[in-house]
Amino acid sequence: MGLPHTTGDRPSDEQADTSEATIERLRAELEQLRDKLRNTAAIERAKGALAERLGCGVDAAYTHLLQLARDSGITPLDAASLLFTPEARDDDPLPAPRSPADDADADDDGHGDGGDGDVGRPASPVAGRRPPAAVAADGPPPDGGVCPRPVFDDLAEQFEHAQRLGNLGCGMWEPATGASHWSDQVYAIFGRDPAEGPLPLDRLAAVVVPEDVPLTAHLISTLVDGREPVDSEIHIRRDGETRELRLIGEPVVDRAGRPVAVRCVYQDVTGWRRGERALTASRRQLEQLRVDEERRQAIDMQRSILPLPERVVDKPGLRAAIRYLPAGILSRVGGDWYETSAIDGEGVFLAIGDVSGHGRTAAAAMARLRNGLSGLAFTGAPPDRLLAWLNRLTLHWPTSLTATALAGRFDPETRTLTWAQGGHFPPLLIRDGKATTLDPPEGMLLGAIDDAEFGVATTSLEPGDLLLLYTDGLIERRDRDLQVGLDLLLRVAETAASNDPETVLDRVLSAFGAPNPNDDTCVVAIQIV
């Protein structure tokens, strides 16, 4: 039996294919590694920036980043990318990083905020106190690396450390005798020299800000009268700054139920509240950036589907000008659309409509509805049949949406407009300085019922007439009746003193002022020539 035929040392086709597959696999793994490194770098930059802004440690900053991502429904990488891009930092609503001098977190006696809740900030020991008990060092850790638990001398020492770490302290006040007792940490919270003794509870109003004096007086009265416990926050002045203090108290009563003393727990929560405010600002910023990005995507989709002409559009027998205004509120980009198409032998097809809802879903539905109607228009079917077909298309959308539409055909030879509407405002006709609303044929909202019926109307037009097609975003506002907006439109149209479509649109939009905050606006002015 002969040996198999070979061609020297050249690799076979199978070997070449294997080599190419290996190279492609290595390239894919390399790209994955690069992506991982880029993602890791982005997260690390975000952790560092957030730690600086919140005045906390890097680990605590990462915790807050995860919370922000969770609350916003996005990944931590997306949150980092949105929050800490150069664009986000330019208009950053978060407070600037605090210096020790500004924050007064380090006092002359060496006492910091301790465990008052500064987000992620380690507590510093109080001067004159022992630091936490050292870990026993009786030899190597058992089990080859498990450190023994800290050793406390007694329960009092544990209580002392708990007060320092939580930046809280306890006190007792006896109204009958005026005697007061404070634990050491309360002096640090109030910035009071222990040599001066504790501040009696009935003099607490002397150190609170003026706005909190009535609240403080009510809390003390509630405790002294023995009515019920209290748990509230007040603001005190300490070392030239305002500190936020949580006051928890309960009355102590004798066997007869008479109040004889008041127990109180004081906790400095300034750091907690600063962190909460900073995180709230971060959440607002993140939500705003996400909304801005969604709006940008929706507008880009609209512009790619619905290009707006820069000047008057000339069609057989008419001239048209179009304006489109996105909603004033960023998240309310909607599904308004228009169509002006010259169809050979069929005149000019005119349409305008509005899809319910907002955002990318509405923009996508708008594209489907407009493109579907534009394609159906080339069948030569009358407007009422076009809307009947469009109604069936709307009913079969994956999402439950409704829409309004107006469709018509303009015959340039006879200057007649044959039109139908499905839940849409009828056109406005301006003739000889008089504005009127055309009587609409029968028609209901698209997507409401399966077998909807649509009527058809025919309007004779004259040279110089101007038709105004518009969506509800032009005249409808939440703070006024719809008829008020329609009356305003009629007045402005009559006083436009021109039948030039560009001039009329400028006058109309100027009269209605800023864009509708809650809905898009689309207006088409058509001059008959």
**Which domain CATH number covers 392?**
3.60.40.10
- Whether 361 and 436 map to the same domain: the answer is yes
- Whether 189 and 249 map to the same domain: the answer is yes
Contact 190, 199 (CB under 8 A): yes
Closest CA to 381 of 306, 454, 461: 454
- Whether 397 and 499 map to the same domain: the answer is yes
Contact 95, 53 (CB under 8 A): yes
Read off the pLDDT band of 162 (50, 70, 90): confident
- Does a structural domain hold residue 110? no
Each residue's pLDDT tens digit, 262-274: 999 999 999 888 8
- Whether 508 and 404 map to the same domain: the answer is yes
The residue behind tokens 């910035």 is: 191
Contact 371, 387 (CB under 8 A): no
Choice among 52-61, 323-332, 453-462, 465-474 with the minimum mean pLDDT: 323-332
- Specify the higher pLDDT residue, 401 or 122: 401
The residue behind tokens 């097609």 is: 469
For the chain, the domain total comes to 3
Q: Which two tokens stand for residue 79?
A: 């949150």
- Does a structural domain hold residue 151? no
* Average pLDDT estimate for 456-478: 93
**DSSP-assigned letter for residue 381:** -
- Whether 429 and 313 map to the same domain: the answer is yes
Per-residue pLDDT for 149 more than 70? no
Read off the pLDDT band of 161 (50, 70, 90): confident
The residue behind tokens 């931590």 is: 76
The residue behind tokens 């159906």 is: 376
Residue 403 backbone phi and psi in degrees, to 5? -155, 160
Per-residue pLDDT for 528 more than 90? yes
- Does a structural domain hold residue 100? no
- Specify the higher pLDDT residue, 415 or 156: 415
Read off the pLDDT band of 300 (50, 70, 90): confident
Per-residue pLDDT for 323 more than 80? yes
| Residue 97 Cα distances to 52, 53, 359, 419, angstroms | 6, 5, 36, 63
Per-residue pLDDT for 128 more than 60? no
- Whether 262 and 387 map to the same domain: the answer is no
- Whether 411 and 483 map to the same domain: the answer is yes
- Does a structural domain hold residue 140? no
- Whether 312 and 256 map to the same domain: the answer is no
- Does a structural domain hold residue 370? yes
* Average pLDDT estimate for 109-127: 39
Answering whether pTM is above 0.75, one says: no
Per-residue pLDDT for 222 more than 80? yes
Q: Going by C-beta distance under 8 Å and a sequence separation of 6 or more, which residues neighbour residue 26?
A: none
Per-residue pLDDT for 190 more than 90? yes
pLDDT given for residue 15 in this prediction: 62
| Residue 67 Cα distances to 88, 279, 281, 286, 457, angstroms | 19, 9, 13, 12, 58
Residue 244's CATH number: 3.30.450.20
Contact 440, 426 (CB under 8 A): yes
- Whether 327 and 246 map to the same domain: the answer is no
Per-residue pLDDT for 142 more than 50? no
Each residue's pLDDT tens digit, 96-112: 334 333 443 434 443 44
Task: Please work out, in degrees rounded to the nearest 5, the angle formed at the alpha carbon of residue 195 by the alpha carbons of 192 and 198.
Answer: 55
| Residue 57 three-state SS | coil
* Average pLDDT estimate for 343-351: 89
- Does a structural domain hold residue 380? yes
- Does a structural domain hold residue 511? yes
Domain that holds residue 292: 41-91+276-299
- Does a structural domain hold residue 104? no
CA distance 487 to 180: 73
